[in-house]
Structure 1
Amino acid sequence: MKTLFIKNAKNIIAMDENRTEYPGGSMYVVGQEIKAIGYDLPCESADIVIDARGKIVYPGLINTHHHLYQTFTRNIPWVQNVELFDWLIALYDIWRHLRPEDVYLSAVVGLGELLKSGCTASADHFYVFPNGVSRELIDEEIRAAREIGIRFYPTRGSMSLGRSKGGLPPDEIVQPEDVILRDTMRIIETYHDPSKFSMLRVGVAPCSPFSVSKDLLRESADLARSYGVRMHTHLAETIDEEDFCREKFGMRPFELMEETGWVGEDVWYAHGIWFDDKEIAKLGACGCGIAHCPSSNMKMASGTMRIMDMLQAGVKVGFGVDGSTSNDSSNLLLDLKIMNLLHNLQHGTTALSAEDCLSIATRGSAKVLGWENAIGSLEVGKAADMFMIDTNRLEFAGALFNDTALPILAGTPTVDMTIVGGRIVVDKGRLVNINEESFAMRAQKAAERMLEAALEHTKVNYKKTRIRNSAILT
């Protein structure tokens, strides 16, 4: 196994239980594992030696909720300034044109953005399987993650409740439930690696209460637990979702989860905005996790998660960037700044510090994913997942007074180096394993093809869509 020695760091921010810092410290890594951290480490003979003078080292950020396929539908004019249900209805007509290559390219772009903003591990929720297109679409995301070098946690999503059955999505992008369950088993059996330093774990993830049946929720829960994998879904994101559940099922969204077996230590939800006091207490008691997605919630005007009440109730809270169409970016550092500002406004300036936000995006996210034994902090015995920033950059001048808060409060939301499992994947701010410009060109062409197909399908008048600098203008 290769060895890595990081020396002379301006500071190492461990984000362990005691929030330990190592000013001037060093770190020794064997394979993926941190073997020593501190001072006077005799490790100069390592295979790779990084002189981190002037650089601050942080544990890698962990993204607990994303939709990578949405990378090709961001900054679309007619889905801006709309709420969730209208937003989804418009976008379904574009996503129905997804091809396997689109899924691969969108994952490369989205995961690349994540790595360049300090993210070293990311979950993803993929649930759109257009009729007539290969079912092996999550496989394309996994291929992208392996090539780019990120620790990956894809979840096999599903939609079975089309419009003809009272659901929100069109019938063209939902699947029969037996097909969903068979392919979910295939994904788990083919890819899931539960080992401590795994680069790939898999979860089970019906999309939402308004796109799947009760039967699919129950059967998905049974399947997940038979394989010992975790479970994920959207929940309590909007008032519209609550109204839908009351009308269709006669209960609140969380009650639906309780009835169908979707509560427990092995479950995490995305968003969790509209829980009441009793439900928050239950969340803390049962061990469910929440992926907090502040930028998405703000853009969609969904509301603000009651994060302080949840933390006080012992709810596991992690961080999520959410799909690029509801964020228009996959930048975790930028979202951490937004999170800090949002909760200053919502809960007061003493509620969540920048350090607290960093803890949620590292240790908190690791707990939500059930991976706290390996990732989320820089400690002996844990994975060498980290990012570095160079404090000599101009944008940090006059700001070098709090090393932990620095990349959240000051500067641009980019990093100088990202390391995953002891391997450098971002160096000098650029991805190491791919040609960024080549992939950017391929990705833009694919995105334009999808949008053009959707516009032709829905007969939208091009002249009403003021898309500047686009090859598809007529």
Structure 2
Amino acid sequence: MRIAIENAAIATVDGEEAGTEYARGHVVIDDNVIEAVGDGAAPGAVDRRIDASGCLVTPGFVNTHHHLYQWATRGYAQQSTLFEWLTELYPVWSGIDEEITHAAAVAGLVRLARTGATTAADHHYLIPRDGGDVFAATVEAARQVGVRLHGVRGSMDRGESDGGLPPDDIVETLDGALRGTAEAIDRFHDPSPQARVRIAVGPCSPFSVSLDLMREAAKLARDKGVRLHTHLAETLDEERQCLAEHGCTPAELADRLGWLGPDVWFAHGIHFADDAVKRLGETGTGVAHCPSSNLRLAAGIARVQDLVHAGCPVGLGVDGSASNEDGGLGIELRQAVYLARLKNGPHSATARDGLWLATRGGARCLGREDEIGSLEPGKQADLAVWRLDTLAHAGIADPVAALVLGPLPPLKLLLVGGTPVVEDDEIRTVDETAAATALRAASGRLRR
């Protein structure tokens, strides 16, 4: 179908900053691709015209870091640091299986879609020995909900007996981790521009994997032509452990192991020294900024502005819902702006900076800037139509400020590749009540 969305404010995010904006413009979609964006009414004949008066159209949001399985364990370890939180939750997570993972992933992806996300990177590093095909369960959940998935096949091979944090019964062998990762790539990865599923390689973190796994995982990813992802520089505890074990910071260790480059993005990246920020920028290494999770665990405030100015791709991430019970991406735009201002003053970040991080910045992190992340002809038709005509946003003249700084608006429409996933603020692809029921049952079974 050829669809025209008209009479809306439009933020295209087609530049390094906010990009072109229209006070009352149109977006034309032909099948799954954006055909035209401009001022005024859409020219030519179309199959469907959507009157978006009182709305703002933006690119769909890109979530660059998540752990969907954690939707089954929200509310645990409420006053913990990261290491304390992991110590409490690892034994609980050892009970996840295919059914629990699928229920949690469906629920998490519905929440993401309801808050404007059209693409989600999910880092699944927990592979219980008797849990079934948990990675495939997440891929299937994304297919059902209808959002794009960057499935990061994670791994851990360093259990408690080797000085790691996770219990031994939920880690893999080195060979098993590499074999499982290669199988996931061969089975699910789609390199095409319109891909709904792509796979990345993701050893969990320097304190839960061996150096051999980090090295071999990087080699595997580059042999297969896929991206690399891991947690890095999230807490000072991690830095102290890295200095004690390896005599260097996490960023220096990543550099030694071949883990810097334009095909790599790190989760969190809070505690980077000046030389590390410069090195990440020089190599084009990305960072997924997770404001709410960082606040929940009191991990610190990432140097987002410094990273961006150094040339580092930076996007937004929700992180696992066990450390961010909201689970939606929409709130992260405001959190990112406010944290930047808290760290660097009120002039350091604007509402449009928040929108850029959630769209174009996220697409750049995932290596998809040519395909998604902005409203430009030839890109995939991933977009959100936000209603700003309710009481919650009445009187805010700047639509981008209303979206980012105000309460998250209801969605009139969310399209992924031109296909409606949310309409009139309701998910259209799955039964939301059934998803909540399944999640409740899965969470209860895991808790027991």
What range describes the TM-score normalised by the shorter chain of this pair?
Answer: over 0.9
Q: Which residue of 1 aligns with 2:216?
A: 219
Distance 2:199 2:284 in 1: 20
Q: Which residue of 2 aligns with 1:449?
A: 445
Query: What SS does the corresponding residue of 2:149 show, helix, strand or coil?
Result: strand
2:89 to 91, 102, 106: 91
Contact kept in structure 2, 1:5 and 1:44, CA below 8 Å: no
Contact kept in structure 1, 2:62 and 2:118, CA below 8 Å: yes
Matched, 1:26 2:22: no
Measured after TM superposition, the shift of residue 350 of structure 1 is 0.2
Contact kept in structure 2, 1:331 and 1:413, CA below 8 Å: no
Distance 2:41 2:390 in 1: 27
Distance 1:42 1:412 in 2: 31
Q: Which residue of 2 aligns with 1:6?
A: 5
Measured after TM superposition, the shift of residue 310 of structure 1 is 1.4
Contact kept in structure 1, 2:289 and 2:316, CA below 8 Å: yes
Q: Which residue of 1 aligns with 2:43?
A: 42
Distance 1:41 1:166 in 2: 62
Contact kept in structure 2, 1:334 and 1:413, CA below 8 Å: no
1:10-61 deviations in Å (ceiling 9; x for gaps): x111111161112221121112110112244334432x33221222111111
Q: Which aligned pairs between 1:31-430 and structure 2 lie closer than 5 A? A: 31-38=31-38, 39-46=40-47, 48-76=48-76, 79-134=77-132, 136-399=133-396, 401-412=397-408, 414-430=410-426
1:102-154 deviations in Å (ceiling 9; x for gaps): 111111111110100011111010001112222x2111101010111101101
Contact kept in structure 1, 2:119 and 2:148, CA below 8 Å: yes
Distance 2:44 2:437 in 1: 42
Distance 2:426 2:179 in 1: 39
Moved over 3 A (4+): 42-45
Query: What SS does the corresponding residue of 1:98 show, helix, strand or coil?
Result: coil
Measured after TM superposition, the shift of residue 172 of structure 1 is 1.1
Give the root-mean-square deviation of aligned CA atoms.
1.2
Measured after TM superposition, the shift of residue 292 of structure 1 is 0.5
Measured after TM superposition, the shift of residue 413 of structure 1 is 5.3
**Matched pairs, number:** 445
Q: What amino acid is aligned across from residue 60 of structure 1 in structure 2?
A: G
Contact kept in structure 1, 2:292 and 2:318, CA below 8 Å: yes
Distance 1:229 1:20 in 2: 32
Contact kept in structure 2, 1:333 and 1:414, CA below 8 Å: no
Contact kept in structure 2, 1:29 and 1:422, CA below 8 Å: yes
Identity %: 43
Which has the larger strand fraction?
Answer: 2
Query: What SS does the corresponding residue of 1:202 show, helix, strand or coil?
Result: strand
**Structure 2 spans left out of the alignment, 5+ residues:** none
**Structure 1 spans left out of the alignment, 5+ residues:** 453-474
